[in-house]
Amino acid sequence: MAARRADKCAEAADEIGGDTLPVALDVTDPAGIEAALTAAEQVFGPVTVLINNAGTVTNNALVDTPPEDWREVIDTNLTGCFLMTQAVSKRLIAAETGGRIVNISSMLGVTPSGQVNAYAASKAGINQLTRTSALELARHGISVNAIAPGYIETDLNRDFLAGPAGERIVKRVAQRRFGQVKDLEGVLLLLTAPAGSYMTGEIVTIDGGLSLSGM
């Protein structure tokens, strides 16, 4: 388990329990990625499952987005996903073990919405990276898929979703509720389990039917 903040990573590892190795990692740093993977392999053996979940977002109109904000979002969300996928794939190919890679995308990578230009572009890029990686890596027994969540309630957005904007959004969700983290677990487990071995290059939307309304 890796995250930029070592303290938060350690807290999450304690919450999950079991055999975990919290590692501080900046996904835009190739040397750091190699060090993290080596540390994991020393404890658990070859890394055969990768979940690319690092992400950040800024909320600005196109004309108000500073270039540095654009670069931060693209670097973290898209370049980080590429670098992690590349590093793990090289090791999986060398080990000839096969493996699973799951990228966390977003419904905003498919359906446009204002004020999130960099974020939406990064997630659209992840979708295509998922497909092209799946095409290249299939011959090595490596599947690559993505999950595209809708509005999932977390500590970061709970107040927003409980406010006036959330009230407007939830009316467009076919199930008339926001998602919970547990709503992602079934698909994530499928994509990393033997039952999902014939799936690759797929972008699985989990949004309670929000995309059916055209946002």
On the question of pLDDT at 130 being above 70, the answer is yes
Is 119 part of the annotated catalytic residue set? yes
Average pLDDT over residues 7-25: 84
Average pLDDT of the residues of the chain: 94
For 138-162, the pLDDT digits (tens) are 999 999 999 999 999 988 789 889 9
**Three-state secondary structure string covering the chain:** CEECCHHHHHHHHHHHCCCCCCEECCCCCHHHHHHHHHHHHHHHCCCCEEEECCCCCCCECHHHCCHHHHHHHHHHHHHHHHHHHHHHHHHHHHHCCCEEEEEECCHHHCCCCCCEHHHHHHHHHHHHHHHHHHHHHHHHCEEEEEEEECCECCCCCHHHHHCHHHHHHHCCCCCCCCECCHHHHHHHHHHHCHHHCCCCCCEEEECCCHHHHCC
pLDDT band at 29 (very low <50, low <70, confident <90, very high): very high
pLDDT given at position 192: 98
For 70-110, the pLDDT digits (tens) are 999 999 999 999 999 999 999 999 999 999 999 999 999 99
Q: Among 70, 119, 151, 178, which one carries the catalytic annotation?
A: 119
On the question of pLDDT at 62 being above 80, the answer is yes
On the question of pLDDT at 184 being above 80, the answer is yes
On the question of pLDDT at 215 being above 80, the answer is no
Q: At the top level of CATH, which class does the domain 46-150+182-213 belong to?
A: alpha beta
pLDDT given at position 113: 84
Average pLDDT over residues 195-203: 98
pLDDT given at position 19: 86
On the question of pLDDT at 214 being above 80, the answer is no
pLDDT given at position 63: 96
Domains of the chain, by residue range, sit at: 46-150+182-213
The rounded percent of the chain whose pLDDT value lies above 90 is 79
